[in-house]
Chains A and B, each alone.
Chain A
């Protein structure tokens, strides 16, 4: 289920645009917009993962270790596939 895309005007370093155009010419992207879109999506994903790691850093490590050990004990009761 895709989202409707929005047009925007941005200022980009010439070398980055040159690279994006190179990708399009090489057939690796349909157009420059797609390259920019992919790059931003990649950044959103990286930032999301960083956010998870920041949250995890607030945890109680000893408690998490106990929970992991408890999971392992329960999993040992199941046959590995």
Chain B
């Protein structure tokens, strides 16, 4: 819960781009994720997004960083729990054309009605309206660098 209002803020779903940045030891993105966690913002990490980031980094340090995310106070790992969720993921892939790991992010965001936090909003905009309800996207960027 936040200290300001006592209410639990809406969770953000971290996408593959964020996890890749953390696995590559991007200091700014890592600090930002820690800051969100420190504010009490729930962060949902789809397990297949972790797989994609680990595949991208392919380093022990990268995997350690991803394990560190799991240990934060307000992170939750969204797993693929059962056949129903696996079938739902397949439906999202079929509707959006997203790759499996990205589709897991979309499926989690769609089911939980939570925005996706990303470094690549453009990619998501292409797919945001493919599902019955539009995906909400929040982009991490420095406005001073735009």
Give chain A's interface secondary structure class.
helix
Asked if A70 contacts B142 (CB within 8 A), the reply is yes
Chain A interface size band reads 20 to 34
Q: Please name all residues of chain A whose beta carbon is closer than 8 Å to the beta carbon of B28 when the two chains form the complex.
A: 59-60, 63-64, 67
Q: Tell me the residues in window 23-81 of chain A with beta carbons closer than 8 Å to chain B beta carbons.
A: 44-53, 55-61, 63-64, 66-68, 70-71, 74-75, 78, 80-81
Q: How far is the CA of A38 from the CA of B30 in the complex (A)?
A: 27
Residue among B25, B30, B69 facing the most chain A CB atoms (10 A cut-off): B30
Q: Min CB distance, A67 to chain B, in Å?
A: 5
Asked if B30 contacts A55 (CB within 8 A), the reply is yes
Q: Which of B27, B71, B139 sits near A59, CB closer than 8 Å?
A: B27
Interface check B22, CB cutoff 8 A: yes
Q: Which of B59-67, B85-93, B99-107, B124-132 contacts A (4 or more CB under 8 A)?
A: B59-67
Known: A49-B72, A68-B35. A44 touches B67 (CB 8 A): yes
